[in-house]
């Protein structure tokens, strides 16, 4: 963490010397902003209709609650996984910079997108006892230097006054999921997570946090572990949905 604090100090010093610029197009922006108005306007908000369980948007008009085909044919262990934005274009680029190019300061922007998910009525009406980030495998975390879900969960914890606890650990170094189809992802993730020693989630209402929701397989697998250990409910929020 020390390295981040240093880099943040550096960042603060830099922003005094140079005016703030848009993360994407480098146009000047107001202090404290990460995107210019033009880039902001390109961000895609997820609007109804979408799957009640995994938030997959649906093209067409449906006015009643529904589950998408993917959720109807598999066991989902979370109550609902919510994202307010599509993880495409600018949103994808910003999250990529944050995660892979160590642009740690972008966690504030990504954190805003995550907070927007909490306005969704599936989460808005819930109370949570703890916030739990989706863990990275220790080897991956060493390689990246941080876990993006940790940073987002900590911010949300401060904002929502709900304690953040790293209760899960990733015990399998899974290969990247991107090239796998849905059933391969499920197989790849099976038994990838475990509850940390002495973690007690009995009777707790959990809010699980990750940066991006893709198929929901990772969140579902984490939810399965938490529920098997006695969690009352597991909802999930992410900054974006692929
Ligand atoms: Zn811009
Ligand atoms: Zn679904």
Cα of 218 to ligand 1 centre, how many Å? 32
**Mean local confidence (pLDDT), 95-118:** 94
pLDDT at 3 over 60: no
> Are the beta carbons of 205 and 162 closer than 8 angstroms?
no
pLDDT of residue 93: 96
Cα of 123 to ligand 2 centre, how many Å? 16
Lowest mean pLDDT among 67-81, 104-118, 131-145, 147-161: 67-81
Per-residue pLDDT band at 18 (split at 50, 70, 90): low
Per-residue pLDDT band at 59 (split at 50, 70, 90): confident
Residues with CB under 5 A from ligand 2 (ion): 51, 53-54, 56, 68, 71
Cα of 38 to ligand 1 centre, how many Å? 6
pLDDT at 235 over 90: yes
């Amino acid at each position: 963490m020390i390295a981040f604090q240093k880099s943040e100090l550096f960042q603060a010093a830099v922003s005094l010397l140079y005016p703030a610029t848009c993360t994407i197009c480098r146009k000047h922006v107001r202090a404290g902003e990460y995107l210019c108005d033009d880039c902001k306007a390109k961000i895609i908000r997820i609007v109804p209709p979408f799957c009640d369980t995994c938030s997959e948007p649906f093209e067409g008009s449906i006015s009643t609650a529904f589950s998408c085909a993917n959720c109807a044919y598999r066991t989902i262990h979370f109550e609902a996984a919510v994202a307010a934005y599509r993880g495409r274009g600018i949103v994808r680029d910003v999250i990529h910079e944050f995660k892979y190019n160590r642009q740690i300061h972008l966690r504030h922007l990504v954190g805003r997108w995550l907070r927007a998910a909490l306005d969704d009525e599936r989460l808005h009406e819930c109370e949570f006892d703890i916030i739990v980030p989706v863990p990275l495998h220790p080897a991956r975390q060493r390689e990246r230097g941080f876990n993006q879900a940790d940073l987002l969960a900590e911010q949300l914890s401060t904002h929502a006054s709900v304690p953040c606890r790293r209760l899960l650990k990733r015990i399998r170094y899974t290969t990247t999921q991107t090239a796998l189809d849905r059933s391969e992802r499920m197989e790849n993730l099976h038994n990838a997570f475990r509850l940390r020693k002495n973690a007690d989630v009995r009777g707790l209402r959990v809010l699980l946090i990750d940066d991006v929701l893709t198929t929901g397989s990772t969140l579902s697998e984490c939810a399965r572990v938490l529920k098997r250990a006695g969690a009352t409910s597991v909802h999930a929020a992410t900054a974006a949905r692929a």
